[in-house]
Amino acid sequence: METAAMDREGDGAVMKDDVSVLGDCLMRLRKRRGWSIAETARRGGLSTSMLWKVENGQTTLTHGKLAQLAKGLEVPIGDLFAPPELAVRKGGRRVVNRAGTAPTIDCGGNLHHFLATEIASKHYFPCLIEVNAEGDGSDAEPHGGEEFAYVMSGRVRLHCEGYSPVIMEVGDSVYFDASLGHRYVSVDGPARMLCVYSHPEHARQDEATEHERHSRAMQLLRGGPDPALLAEDATPARRSGARS
C-alpha cells in the first residue's frame, strides 16, 4: 500500500487512506468544539502549521504527539480515527475488526494498527504493533495512562526510562507506567506485539498532571517514599469529637 509523505516535525508516516481519516476526524472534533486551528494547536502543544498539514492529509504525528493532541481535544486517542457515522456513538458495546481494516500509522518504523476505534468512551485502547524499528531507544516517548504489551512473534527490546533495556520473546509481557519514556525496538527481524493502553483520565486521581505522575514514578524507582502517601500523611487529622 502506498504511504504518505513524512513531515519533519511529525516524524511519522501513515497509510494514505488513513491520512484522510485522521485529518477528517481532527477537523470534525475541532469544529464540534468551535475551536480555531490556532486554538486547537495551542491546546495540543503543536504548531499551527503542523496541525493544518495534519488536517489536510499532508502528514501525521508520532504516537506520543497523537496522544498529546488527543489530550488537548479531551478525547481518547482512538477517537482520532473513528469513522464519521460512529464517532459520537457512545452506546455501542461491541465491535468486530476484520483483518487488514484497522487504521495504521508508521511511527518511526513501527506500524501501529489501532483496533476498536468505532467504540467511543472506552477505558482501554488495543493496538497491534509490527515492530521493525532499530536503534538505541534514544527517541523514547512518554504518554498518559498505563500500558500493557504482549509479544506475539519475534523478539523485541524494550527501552523504558529508569530501567535497563530488556529483551522480550514470544509469550513475554510487560506492564508499565506510560509516563516513563519508552520505545520498542526490533532485535533480529520483524516482531508483532499486542498493546493495550489505558486512557489517562482513568489513571490515579491523586496525580493531577502527567508531570506529577512522571515525578512520582521516578521517585519510586529511586527507592524514595510515595509522594501520594506523604501528601495523605500531611493532611491534618480531625480533632476527636469534631463535627463532620
DSSP letter assigned to residue 224: P
Q: Is 103 strand, coil or helix? A: coil
Distance separating alpha carbons of residues 86 and 31, to the nearest angstrom: 17
Largest CA distance in the chain: 72
**At 149, which amino acid appears?**
A
The structural domains of the chain, ordered by start, are 8-88 (1.10.260.40), 123-227 (2.60.120.10)
Residue-wise pLDDT tens digits, 10-56: 444 344 456 677 888 888 888 888 999 999 999 988 999 989 988 88
Find how far residue 66's CA is from the centre of its chain: 7
| pLDDT tens for each residue of 56-93 | 888 778 777 887 888 888 887 777 877 665 444 555 67
pLDDT for the residue 207:
45
Q: Which of 165, 167, 166, 169 is nearest to 152 (CA)?
A: 169
Look-up: residue for cell 506492564? 175
Instruction: Find where cell 493532541 sits.
Output: 69
pLDDT of residue 230: 54
